[in-house]
Structure 1
């Protein structure tokens, strides 16, 4: 699944929303200083990387899909891009001071992700995980969209906002686990919203026929809303420290 996004790398880069600039300030304040190095897991085309660069530290990006990695390197030539997974990456002796993941934590093996991150950090190092949860400003529109999606895929589910806060805390490997959220509204036309849907992992796992039916149903709904929909993005940042 980590390679399906490369099929829509240009669309992903164009339509996926970025992250609040304040994420970088929160990471720096928590870490206590500018880190000597940052390693980002699953960097994609650089949506989270752009925020991490505001820390003023060298950034190494792990991105296993070569098409996403190529777009990332073109967007942000100042970063080091390694076309490998977090599981394939060999951390330097002694670890790194800061590891980050932007909307990538769920792609890692749940049995090993916390242990790998812990072991790859220097003692006292920081883990920073952040992600968007896509909601809707209008409750009736939200229900209509979810009803349409479930008619095509009855098993579709959403992870609760901040689920990775519980995941990291429950591992028992980190101290001083802290979470904060920022909400923002984003208005998208029907076409832009359908482009966004095309970049979602669960959508990309379905057959072309199922994808076509889903896009038709959702497009008709958004058109009935006046040709636009307001997303309510909740950005959650979780910070944790290796003891």
Structure 2
């Protein structure tokens, strides 16, 4: 699907509003792999939120991103990385495979029937799979329930995936051995503008007609106002590691 995704139209906002990842993820990947890998390939790299962490590993980077607009932001941020504008299903891995194949918040966009097998075949023998992503919870549970209700009132079809679903996915397909999971948690306070900008970069939000989006933002704006102008995220970040 190179050339366009729902996120391309909001690439700049996405880069500014999406929270980054704990730097400890890089250390966990290196420790699991047994040292710095020969290369790191990132699938669905977007504007580079996950790339920020992967760059800390210190290995040559290949970033694969299907949306040309997102890839342009990514390339500007990481001029030393190789950026391939392609979908994972069309991408050709480097000869010999990547030492680490990573994916941040994009595993669900890959073909469920083939993503695990493709990931294993894209790795060098004994290479490391590293999938990580956020789960957006709320420090104030009542506020979180109200936010979820407001979004469902606009689009009743919106449903969250189970917590750590990609860990279960990797285990179920049995393409990788020594599969491990690590959890990182932190509280992240967001002001009104930052929180509304974050919500406006979510895939289900972007897929709705403009009037529904306006209704959702208006409802959320009222809730943030009632909360004193700040929403505190309970940000849960899961890292899944496996050996190919």
Q: Scaled by the length of structure 2, what TM-score is found?
A: 0.97
1:58-102 superposed Cα distances (whole Å, 9 cap, x missing partner): 000001111111101111111111111111111133322110001
**Which of 183, 186, 192 lines up with 1:190 in the alignment?**
192
- Partner of residue 12, structure 1: 14
After superposition, where does 1:135-154 map in structure 2 within 5 Å?
135-154=137-156
Alignment of 1:182-221 (within 5 A): 182-221=184-223
Cα distance in 1 for residues equivalent to 2:84 and 2:96: 20
2:181 to 169, 179, 185: 179
The answer to whether the Cα contact below 8 Å between 1:43 and 1:61 also exists between their aligned partners in 2 is yes
2:106 match: 104
Deviation at 1:160, TM superposition (A): 2.2
Question: Which residue in 2 is equivalent to 1:129?
Answer: 131
- Partners of 1:130 and 1:57 lie apart in 2 by 18
Show structure 1 runs of 4+ deviating over 2 A: none
The structural deviation recorded for 1:161 is: 2.3
Q: Distance in 2 between matches of 1:21 and 1:95?
A: 25
- Name the TM-score, length of structure 1 as normaliser: 0.97
Question: Could you tell me how far apart the structure 2 residues matched to 1:227 and 1:120 are?
Answer: 46
Question: In the TM superposition, what is the alpha-carbon distance from 1:151 to its structure 2 partner?
Answer: 1.1
Task: Pick from 29, 34, 46 the counterpart of residue 32 of structure 1.
Answer: 34
1:168 paired to 2:170: yes
Q: Distance in 1 between matches of 2:129 and 2:234?
A: 26
Q: 1:139, 1:155 → 2: CA distance? A: 22
Q: Which runs of 5+ in 2 are unaligned?
A: none
Q: Distance in 2 between matches of 1:10 and 1:161?
A: 28
Residue aligning to 2:59: 57
Paired with 1:30 and 1:10, the residues of 2 have a C-alpha distance of 33
State the shift of 1:45 in Å: 0.8
What CA distance in whole angstroms lies between the structure 2 residues aligned with 1:110 and 1:20?
27
| Corresponding residue for residue 233 of structure 2 | 231
Task: Tell me the distance in 2 between the aligned counterparts of 1:149 and 1:50.
Answer: 30
Paired with 1:151 and 1:200, the residues of 2 have a C-alpha distance of 16
Aligned equivalents of 1:148 and 1:54: distance in 2? Answer: 38
Structure 1 match to 2:90: 88
Judge conservation of contact 1:37–1:97 (CA < 8 Å) in 2: yes
Aligned counterparts of 1:233 and 1:161: Cα–Cα separation in 2: 12
Aligned-pair distance for 1:122?
A: 1.6
CA distance in 2, matches of 1:75, 1:56: 16
